[in-house]
Amino acid sequence: MDQRTSIADVIDTNLHGLEAVKSALSTPELSAALDRALGLISEMQGRLIVAGVGKSGLIGRKLAATFSSTGTPAYFVHPAEASHGDLGMIHTNDVVLLLSWSGETKELSDILSYARRFGVPVISITGGANSTLAKSSDAPLVLPKAKEACPHNLAPTTSTLMQLAVGDALAITLLKMKGFTEESFRDFHPGGKLGAALTPVSDIMFKGDNIPLVHTDAPVIEVVGEISRKTLGIVGVTDDAGALQGVITDGDIRRYLEANSDGSMKDAMWETHARSLMTPGSIFLEPERLSARALHVLQSNKISAAFVIENDKPVGVVTLMQLLTLGVA
């Protein structure tokens, strides 16, 4: 059998499962259960306790991580550990989310009984409409039966993808309901490339004495010296009030010297001033601009650096190389 055809068939089967879920969302039963689930989670005072066994457990772990990283406190509890003391981690102000495709997973019985005994709301994601789990849940998210991508219809594939899709949909809907912003997201993802991308430029920009600046009346020789000392390939040109009027790049200097190569070097370096070379109205950034967006500004405008402006005055400068080195993408 053509391996590529086999892979395509598996993907098609999974996509059919997702389409079935999408269609089911319009049914009164699932729609009402989703609204109930969103209400329970958004109004809870504690945490979302997620549990499942086997492949459903692995999906549950992923969902707990997604909920936590998008502003909904969540924790995965393994059913076996729950039966040996970890039930004490579940409080009455929590909400329990249980995953079981059959809805008859025995290992979940202790958590389910505990939740029912102490009035902890239960949400379930299952394929068993008439299962014990569905009937015992406050918000049973019953998904349509779908053939697994496995040719024997045994290995959990399409079913786990459907569980994941619904769980992710809950997490992202809650994110929107809470007004969870990019800045909020950064608070939960301070490390790695994601953290770098969500860092405001004020945290990474060159500032203070490292900002290359000259006055509009500065001769070219001073401009060259400032670019050389600060090594950022750019210098900002400011007026008497310190407001940024324009920028000069090392490329501007090269082009200027080439155009004036037939004249006196003294005149070229001392008689021409920064205001004559600068590019006015240059691209600038705000201190709160996220690094990922700053990178987009630099790349889309094909520039290697931009000044960070506050009240018309330069408070920093960010370079393309700096952002790429920090892992912003």
Strands 313-319 and 305-310: antiparallel
Give the domains, in start order, of the chain with CATH numbers: 3-180 (3.40.50.10490), 201-325 (3.10.580.10)
174/39 Cα distance (integer angstroms): 9
CA angle, 34 as apex, 30 and 39 as ends, to 5°?
Answer: 150
pLDDT attached to residue 155: 87
83/206 Cα distance (integer angstroms): 55
Computed over its alpha carbons, how large is the radius of gyration of the chain? 30
217/32 Cα distance (integer angstroms): 70
CA separation (Å) from 30 to 77, 104, 268? 25, 19, 76
pLDDT attached to residue 76: 95
pLDDT attached to residue 219: 94
Can you give the pLDDT of all 329 residues of the chain as single tens digits?
Answer: 456 557 888 888 878 878 888 888 888 999 999 999 999 999 999 999 999 999 999 999 999 999 988 889 999 999 999 888 889 889 999 999 999 999 999 999 999 999 999 999 999 999 999 999 999 999 999 999 888 888 888 888 899 999 999 999 999 999 888 886 666 555 555 555 556 677 889 999 999 999 999 999 999 999 999 999 999 999 999 999 999 999 999 999 999 988 888 777 777 888 899 999 999 988 999 999 888 889 999 999 999 999 999 999 999 999 998 888 888 86
β-strand partners of 97 = 50, 123
The DSSP code for 124 is E
Identify residue 133 by its one-letter amino acid code.
Answer: L
Could you list the beta-strand ranges (E) of 55-197: 74-76, 95-99, 122-126, 139-142
pLDDT attached to residue 271: 87
Look-up of token digits 């037939």: 262
The token pair that represents 15 in the structure block: 């996509």
β-strand partners of 316 = 308
Look-up of token digits 């086997």: 54
